[in-house]
Amino acid sequence: MVGLPSAGVHANGFTLVRRVLEDEDYAGDDLLAPTRLYLDGARRLRDRAHALAHVTGGGILGNLERVVPEGLRAEIDWTSWERPLVFEWLARHVAEDELRRVFNLGIGYVAVVPEPGDELVIGRVVSA
């Protein structure tokens, strides 16, 4: 699986973000960064992709569950990319499993491909 980087939180999880803002302010640009458009990346990948997933509410795994066939599952290497700083800030207030369920954590689009090119490899599909 290869991932396309996000610009930050995007439009998901702002109820949780507002709750965290009650405890600690955050002034980074990545909190309100506009959602990236993944059209160019998706076009580059679509001819060789088995599946494509736009990471919205539900996080990376929740969105991949919709496109990975039954009997298989996504195995993510959560350390394979650098998260935008906003997620480091959120991690001081929110458990890792909840961060993974709610946010994109810096990956806004995922493609399941047979062989990666020079893209960022974030995981693989394995038997369930």
* Domains (range + CATH), the chain: 2-127 (3.90.650.10)
Q: What is the pLDDT of residue 82?
A: 96
- Quote the CA–CA distance of 61 and 55 in Å, as a whole number: 9
- Alpha-helix runs per DSSP H in 58-123: 59-64, 85-91, 96-102
Q: What is the pLDDT of residue 106?
A: 96
Residues 67-125 have pLDDT tens digits of 999 999 999 999 999 999 999 999 999 999 999 999 999 999 999 999 999 999 999 99
Q: What's the pLDDT tens digit per position in 13-31?
A: 999 999 999 999 999 999 9
The b-or-e profile of 46-83 (16+ CB within 10 A means b, else e) is eeebebbbebeebbbbebbeebbeeeebbebeeeebeb
Among 96, 82, 116, 104, smallest CA distance to 10 is for 104
Tokens of 74: 């996504």
pTM: 0.93
